[in-house]
A and B are shown apart, each in its own frame.
Chain A
Amino acid sequence: MSTSKSKTKAKAKHDVKAKAKSKSKSKSMKSSKIRFEIDGKECTAKPGQTIVEAARDNGVYIPVLCWYEGMEPAGICRMCMVKVGGRTMPGCTTPVAEGMIIESDVPELEDMRKAMVEMLFVEGNHLCPTCEKSGNCDLQALGYRYRMMVPRFPYQFPLRLVDATYTKIMIDNNRCVQCRRCIRGITTKDGRHVFAMTKRSGKSTIVADRELEAKISDALAKKAMDQCPVGAILKKETGFALPIGRRKYDKAPIGTEVHK
């Protein structure tokens, strides 16, 4: 780390201490705040918060895909890459440290993120015009955010299957981006995971435990569909019940719910 950076860090630390001292009499809780900076904005974080979470609390949106509010972060998709002290690291798994200077909204990172969205589009079979998740899909919303017109990579057109043999849901592998939100986020009351990954590398696909799946409530099936960032998990017979205009991203583009 360069001297100037460590100096800034030291100064930040000093400032925090000074502030903590001055306020310690009135509000002792404040002393546990961590101070950091993101894209030039001075922010504070709670101890243990990740960069993505802390940034959100401060009204700064860092694009994410595998991250989901309230779910254990997994660091899979790399959409949230930020720069700290010149090094790129995933914002969803890296805890904020005192005095951190973070870069997120910079051309280099934004182009990398755009490239990642493009890669996800070419790697699967994403036909937004006929997908019932259209308007509620995070991948599509990111495509719009990055004004993706034509991907710079060649389409792979992989041969993938729709598994409709389940009771409550359907899994359309054409659209799965392997974020594992379903694995992490969907459990039965007694804590058993409904979804799992099978096979390896390029062939890996999401499967559901047939016994558990047959017994899940409609609410849990809906949650699985809602938490899947794309249209890979469909609760059967949901379809296009939500009219255009009332879908999540009809109201506001992705990120605007966070960005202040």
Chain B
Amino acid sequence: MGRKITIEPVTRVEGHGKVTILLDDSGNVSQSRFHIVEFRGFERFVQGRPYWEMPVLTQRLCGICPVSHHLAAAKATDVIVGAGTGEGLTPTGEKMRRLMHYGQMFQSHSLHFFHLASPDLLFGIDADPAIRNVIGVAMKHKDLAVQGVMMRKFGQEIIRATAGKKIHGTGAIPGGINKNLSLKERDEFLKGADPLNIDKMIQWAQAALDFFKGYHSKNRSMIDNFAVFPSNHLSLVRKDGGLDLYHGVLRAVSPEGKKILNDVDYQDYYNHIGEEVRNWSYMKFPYIKSLGKKNGWYTVGPLARLNTCDFIPTPLAQKEFETYKAYTGGKPNNSTMHMHWARLIETLHAAEMIRELLLDKDLQGTKLTAKGAKLREGVGLIEAPRGTLFHHYKINDQDQVIMANLIVSTTNNNEPMNQAVAYVAKSEFTGKPEITEGMMNSVEVAIRAYDPCLSCATHAIGSMPLEMALCGPDGKIIDVKRKQG
């Protein structure tokens, strides 16, 4: 008789997750499912509201990366007010938004690495969960913990200066931005008292990367072999193939590096991306239409972005990118734990971009918005810290939203997360019908590598605890283990 294992709730992941492992009649793992428990229904909720509210309203989906929703919605409303897609804004409008976005990327990636991921690396996956957490890091590696806090703070201050508030600001408006950056604000970031200035941030981002590489050199087998499975990868890239986290064309590559989507305009993303609903999850399963539901799933986020882009347009990050690419012989990287590596390269890139933008006089420009002939529909895409984020709206003649479709990063990563969970569940399964500590830990680490923001993926609020259940083929629960967030 087959059985089912469920793990719930995963710690140090934003949101709430539950894992079920199904056993077949011979007692082997047949399938595993990563369920999302809550659902918030924003797509329905926004209907009837004026379109210009979207950037402020939809960012409430998430308290972790609201800036991404804020900007994706703003980009969709740019199209509606006739300011074009990406290129139509004024230089001040576009660059202020970019600064906001790179500030967000920098703080989110720093938070993930120092607070959520570093405990696994510093103490090892098998370490006692009682010390394998950020408090443990703070006690044993005080410098690292302080750096994490300060890097996060720096990014948040950039957000405050561009959006008006550290979380849930109002800076991006249809067609542009509502403020520029004063010289006083600029100088605080350029020449702020140590450590809160951009030069120090670049230095620390580089140091974090060096720390990871040092760890990697000592723990190759774990980092290189943990949950490795072939996947397609999708992200925006700049028109010339460079890494661009704010705007670009859609590119997808196969596990071998073959282009599946060759730099297409995202305004008609729905011709390329489908969304499958499965009866056991509130979260949809997106797929590339040309490959079909079964094979069309793809990964988004840092790993995917460094697999799709051809180069990184800032010098220090480009140098790291070259080393990173060389490690897989230029082929797409399919190692789950290399996501941390990719994330740190992006952190360095974000810091370099922030400096480049701060030195740009356009940030003090006064032409903040652009406008043209109004359209009734708009799509906005952005590379959020966790991956590609889609916002799509249709409005009526009275400016009210009549349709909204949001595909958030964690939804894009739905199938890869399921794949990763299945992979580690199989490799950790002892053959006995029970959930072991090793199984709990590995599933948790695999899910965390994706930095899933489950609260926004299912549009739910809350912290993220995990429950794991082991079930037979008849659906009967054999074993359940829980972990609080």
Residues of chain A touching chain B, judged by Cβ–Cβ distance below 8 Å, are 129-130, 132, 162, 164-165, 170, 234, 236-245
Instruction: Categorize the interface residue count of chain B.
Output: 20 to 34
A-B contact pairs, 27 of them (CB 8 A): A129-B56, A129-B168, A130-B57, A130-B60, A132-B56, A162-B48, A162-B400, A164-B50, A164-B396, A164-B399, A164-B400, A165-B398, A237-B399, A239-B50, A239-B52, A239-B53, A239-B173, A240-B55, A240-B170, A240-B173, A243-B164, A243-B170, A243-B171, A244-B163, A244-B165, A244-B170, A245-B164
Judging by beta carbons under 8 Å apart, are A236 and B50 in contact?
A: yes
Give chain A nearest CB distance to B71 CB in angstroms: 14
Judging by beta carbons under 8 Å apart, are A130 and B53 in contact?
A: yes
B305 interfacial by beta-carbon distance below 8 Å? no
Give chain A nearest CB distance to B53 CB in angstroms: 6
Number of A-B residue pairs, CB cutoff 8 Å, is 56
* Docked complex Cα distance between A201 and B52 (Å): 32
Judging by beta carbons under 8 Å apart, are B164 and A244 in contact?
A: yes
Give chain B nearest CB distance to A36 CB in angstroms: 43
A240-B52 contact, Cβ under 8 Å, with A129-B60, A130-B57, A130-B60: yes
**Which residues of chain A come closer than 8 Å to B170, judged between CB atoms?**
240, 243-244
* Docked complex Cα distance between A132 and B48 (Å): 15
* Docked complex Cα distance between A164 and B397 (Å): 9
**Which residues of chain A come closer than 8 Å to B179, judged between CB atoms?**
243, 245
Give chain B nearest CB distance to A197 CB in angstroms: 22
**Which residues of chain B come closer than 8 Å to A243, judged between CB atoms?**
164, 170-171, 178-179
A236-B169 contact, Cβ under 8 Å, with A129-B60, A170-B50: no
Give chain B nearest CB distance to A161 CB in angstroms: 8
Closest to A240 in B: B170
* Docked complex Cα distance between A170 and B57 (Å): 17
* Docked complex Cα distance between A132 and B174 (Å): 13
Judging by beta carbons under 8 Å apart, are A241 and B173 in contact?
A: yes
Judging by beta carbons under 8 Å apart, are B174 and A239 in contact?
A: yes
* Docked complex Cα distance between A164 and B56 (Å): 19
B49 interfacial by beta-carbon distance below 8 Å? yes
* Docked complex Cα distance between A217 and B159 (Å): 36
Apart from A129-B60, A130-B53, A239-B174, 18 more pairs, CB < 8 Å: A130-B57, A130-B60, A132-B52, A164-B398, A170-B399, A236-B399, A237-B52, A237-B399, A238-B52, A239-B52, A240-B178, A241-B173, A242-B178, A243-B164, A243-B171, A244-B163, A244-B164, A244-B169
**Which residues of chain B come closer than 8 Å to A238, judged between CB atoms?**
52
Q: Which residues from 132 to 181 on chain B have a C-beta closer than 8 Å to any C-beta of chain A?
A: 163-165, 168-171, 173-174, 178-179
Closest to A236 in B: B399
Give chain A nearest CB distance to B67 CB in angstroms: 14
Closest to B53 in A: A130
**Which residues of chain B come closer than 8 Å to A170, judged between CB atoms?**
50, 398-399
The 7 A-B residue pairs whose C-beta atoms are closest, nearest first, are: A244-B164, A239-B52, A164-B398, A240-B170, A243-B179, A130-B57, A243-B178
Most buried by B among A130, A170, A234: A130
**Which residues of chain A come closer than 8 Å to B398, judged between CB atoms?**
164-165, 170
* Docked complex Cα distance between A245 and B171 (Å): 11
**Which residues of chain B come closer than 8 Å to A130, judged between CB atoms?**
53, 56-57, 60
**Which residues of chain B come closer than 8 Å to A240, judged between CB atoms?**
52, 55-56, 170, 173, 178
**Which residues of chain B come closer than 8 Å to A162, judged between CB atoms?**
48-49, 400
* Docked complex Cα distance between A202 and B53 (Å): 28
* Docked complex Cα distance between A6 and B169 (Å): 56
**Which residues of chain B come closer than 8 Å to A165, judged between CB atoms?**
398
Closest to A237 in B: B52
Give chain A nearest CB distance to B160 CB in angstroms: 9
Judging by beta carbons under 8 Å apart, are A132 and B171 in contact?
A: no
* Docked complex Cα distance between A238 and B173 (Å): 10
**Which residues of chain A come closer than 8 Å to B49, judged between CB atoms?**
162
Q: Which residues from 117 to 138 on chain B have a C-beta closer than 8 Å to any C-beta of chain A?
A: none
Give chain B nearest CB distance to A233 CB in angstroms: 13
Closest to B176 in A: A241
* Docked complex Cα distance between A129 and B63 (Å): 13
**Which residues of chain B come closer than 8 Å to A245, judged between CB atoms?**
164, 179
**Which residues of chain A come closer than 8 Å to B81, judged between CB atoms?**
237
Give chain A nearest CB distance to B399 CB in angstroms: 6
Give chain A nearest CB distance to B109 CB in angstroms: 25
**Which residues of chain B come closer than 8 Å to A244, judged between CB atoms?**
163-165, 169-170
* Docked complex Cα distance between A241 and B55 (Å): 12
